[in-house]
Amino acid sequence: MYLSLGSKIIGTRIATAMLCAAGVFGAPTAFAQESSTAPLFNNHVLELLLESRTQKPAGQATAAERESAVEELTSMYLVSNLPRAIELGESPAVSAQIEYQKRALIFNAFAGEFMATNQPTEQEIFNVYQDQVALSPPKEFKARHILVETQSAATALIGELQAGADFVELAKTNSTGPSAPSGGDLGWFTAQAMVEAFSDAVGRLEDGAFTPEPVQTQFGWHVILREDSRDSTPPPLDSVTDVISQRISQQKFLEFLESLKSKASE
């Protein structure tokens, strides 16, 4: 939720690449294999780096990818075990970064476990779905518009429409909006998708009618043709179950956090 492994190791990766390019560590893989001492790092660290680097399970890493990861970790561990590196690790600035990253990792692990073990019930998912359906707009509209800069220009276009001109052709030749090439076609939309003045004007029209007066918005002056309308159809519950479930789990975790903060402030 806060950090990713890639962002945390990028600085180390740059430093490691510089050291390897300079030949500082020669053949770190051979060092790791030939040393009689315990390995510098355990396999869990290697697998973590491989999965972060390759974005696939560690077991699917190629020999070259594994060798590169071993070299990077060997260089990293050799340097970080030096006396001066240990001193730097105890400095306030570095210690603060280590503490923050450690806490963030633990937080993320706990949050993931919490949400995995506090999955919403089917009833909870259905209740949220019903709430969203109730809030969804009842109608959708299909419309075209002609956008011009002045009220007089819009009024003149309405006069041409009343005289029998074709709306699509007028939009193509006069509209300054991005929909002009398609004859002002806006497709299907809900009232909430448009600015209020535009939506109100569309809502007052009958299907097949255009606005008798120009409509002003922050974009300019509009002449609007409402081509069609239909009742809104909510998405099937199955198609949004995962999204709703994740939202509920996140909400439960946020409520848990608020309870912790409340107790901490007592």
Which tokens go with 173?
């030749």
Q: Is residue 226 part of a domain?
A: yes
- Nearest Cα to Cα of residue 117 among 241, 263, 256, 259: 256
| CA–CA gap between residue 75 and residue 114 (Å, rounded) | 36
Number of domains in the chain: 2
| CA–CA gap between residue 227 and residue 207 (Å, rounded) | 5
Give pLDDT, residue 100.
97
Q: Is residue 146 part of a domain?
A: yes
Q: Are residues 225 and 154 in the same domain?
A: yes
| CA–CA gap between residue 215 and residue 225 (Å, rounded) | 12
Say which residue, 79 or 266, is predicted with more confidence: 79
Q: What are phi and psi of 210, to 5 degrees?
A: -115, 160
Mean pLDDT across 159-176: 97
Say which CATH number the domain at 174 has.
3.10.50.40
Q: Grade residue 2 by pLDDT with cuts at 50, 70 and 90.
A: very low
What are 98-107's pLDDT values in tens digits?
A: 999 999 999 9
Map tokens 């570095």 to a residue.
94
Average pLDDT of every residue of the chain: 87
Chain centre to alpha carbon of residue 53: 21
Burial 123-156 (b: 16+ CB within 10 A, else e): eebeebbeeeeeeeeeebbbbbbbbbeeeebbee
Q: Is residue 185 part of a domain?
A: yes
Give pLDDT, residue 265.
87
Other C-beta atoms lying within 10 Å of the C-beta of residue 194: 20
Boundaries of domain holding 189: 138-231
Q: Is residue 194 part of a domain?
A: yes
Residue 7 above 80 pLDDT? Answer: no
Residue 34 above 90 pLDDT? Answer: no
Does pTM surpass 0.85?
no
What are 43-84's pLDDT values in tens digits?
A: 999 999 999 999 999 999 999 999 999 999 999 999 999 999
Say which residue, 24 or 145, is predicted with more confidence: 145
Residues with Cβ within 8 Å of residue 111, at least 6 apart in sequence:
1, 253
Give pLDDT, residue 31.
39
Q: Check residue 86 and report its DSSP letter.
A: H
Residue 123 above 60 pLDDT? Answer: yes
Which tokens go with 243?
């999204």
